[in-house]
Amino acid sequence: MVGWINAKFNKNVEFSSSRAIYGIVRKLAIFVLLVYFIPVALLVPYDVGIGAIYVLYIGYLVSEINSILSHFRLAEDDKTNDLFVDFMSSIFIKKDGK
């Protein structure tokens, strides 16, 4: 979502509908897999299946938190050239008394 906002309102970033659709489809596929693995986890022995589903969900949650933090340059990720922080700074920080 942060990437879409950045691309939609920041003039330095080109908005690409194909990249936006790719991101939406990727998130949808991840959620389908997360839901699909609930019954799969119940098919394996109870302790192993429940443990695996916890690891899967906590891992996904940590991954999403890291992705959000990297947009704000608070975590190391592949978004080092992301212009979102510069764009937000230009909106909220006035320079030279303007």
Distance CA 31, CA 41 (A): 15
Q: What is the mean pLDDT of residues 81-88?
A: 60
Q: Is 12 helix (H, G, I), strand (E, B) or coil?
A: coil
Residues spanned by the domain of 28: 2-92
Asked if residue 64 belongs to a domain, the reply is yes
Residue 20 lies in a domain: yes
Mean pLDDT for 49-57 is 93
Residue 35 belongs to a domain: yes
- pLDDT confidence of residue 81: 56
* pTM confidence score: 0.62
Q: What is the pLDDT of residue 94?
A: 64
Please tell me the predicted confidence (pLDDT) of residue 63.
86
Counting the structural domains of the chain, the total is: 1
